[in-house]
């Protein structure tokens, strides 16, 4: 056994052995680097996918809020006042989670929104602030201060104003979803490009390694053949 280890040690320290070790080491480095980079981009794409889902959810929650408001204004369903408050809280929490990140849903780890999209998020938050102000002044507050006869006169005006702000909020969310999707697509293409480069490098190093071994093995054979 000791003799085997000594022979291995001598081979590794020989000229051909040291070159084989270098080739193997380079291959291992390339494989590990490719794995690390691929894992990084896959995690980033997963986080971006979650952000896209949350940004898209703004549109659903806004539509849900407008549905409860319509029922409240035109059908006189006072029970929907609690649903309106709940919908307001859900939409605001969703918008804030999009910016701050965190574990907002079971098994979904949402990272903070990348810095290049903060301007788009600020626009969404400003639209939400305008919509929330209108809700507070014309719906929630008005419910206690305005007589029922006067409410009916203002319904169309209130609904029109709310729909305008809600559509503006939905449009801002759609713009952010589109930009995030384009960014995700760009990252995906770049990740494939990087992986392609590492595949080519792996093939090149492996080919060089094989050619080196063949040369070392066949060279003595050809030398002996020529001498004979």
Tens digits of per-residue pLDDT, 48-90?
888 899 999 999 999 998 888 877 776 665 566 788 888 999 9
Distance (Å) of CA 221 to CA 14, 19, 20, 216: 20, 21, 20, 9
User: Would you place residue 149 in the very low, low, confident or very high pLDDT band (cuts 50, 70, 90)?
Assistant: very low
| Closest to 155 measured CA to CA, from 80, 97, 69 | 69
User: Would you place residue 191 in the very low, low, confident or very high pLDDT band (cuts 50, 70, 90)?
Assistant: confident
Tens digits of per-residue pLDDT, 12-32?
455 666 667 777 778 788 888
Alpha-carbon torsion 123, 128, 133, 138, what sign? positive
Tens digits of per-residue pLDDT, 124-140?
999 999 888 888 776 65
pLDDT of residue 147: 41
Domains of the chain: 53-201 (1.20.120)
pLDDT of residue 205: 79
User: Would you place residue 160 in the very low, low, confident or very high pLDDT band (cuts 50, 70, 90)?
Assistant: confident
């Amino acid at each position: 056994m000791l003799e085997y280890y000594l022979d291995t040690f001598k081979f590794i320290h020989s000229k051909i052995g040291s070159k084989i070790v270098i080739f193997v080491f380079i291959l291992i480095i390339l494989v590990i680097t490719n794995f690390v980079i691929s894992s990084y981009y896959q995690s980033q794409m997963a986080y971006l996918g979650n952000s896209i889902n949350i940004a898209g959810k703004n549109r659903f929650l806004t539509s849900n809020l407008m549905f409860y408001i319509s029922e409240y204004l035109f059908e006189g369903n006072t029970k929907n006042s609690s649903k309106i408050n709940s919908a307001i809280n859900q939409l605001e929490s969703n918008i804030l989670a999009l910016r701050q990140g965190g574990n907002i849903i079971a098994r979904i780890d949402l990272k903070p929104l990348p810095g290049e999209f903060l301007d788009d998020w600020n626009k969404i938050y400003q639209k939400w602030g305008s919509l929330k102000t209108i809700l507070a002044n014309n719906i929630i507050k008005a419910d206690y201060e305005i007589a029922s006869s006067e409410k009916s006169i203002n319904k169309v005006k209130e609904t029109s104003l709310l729909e305008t702000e809600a559509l503006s909020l939905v449009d801002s969310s759609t713009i952010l979803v589109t930009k995030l999707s384009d960014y995700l697509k760009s990252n995906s293409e770049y990740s494939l490009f990087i992986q392609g480069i590492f595949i080519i490098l792996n093939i090149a190093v492996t080919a060089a390694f094989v050619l080196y071994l063949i040369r070392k093995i066949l060279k003595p054979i050809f030398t002996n053949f020529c001498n004979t």
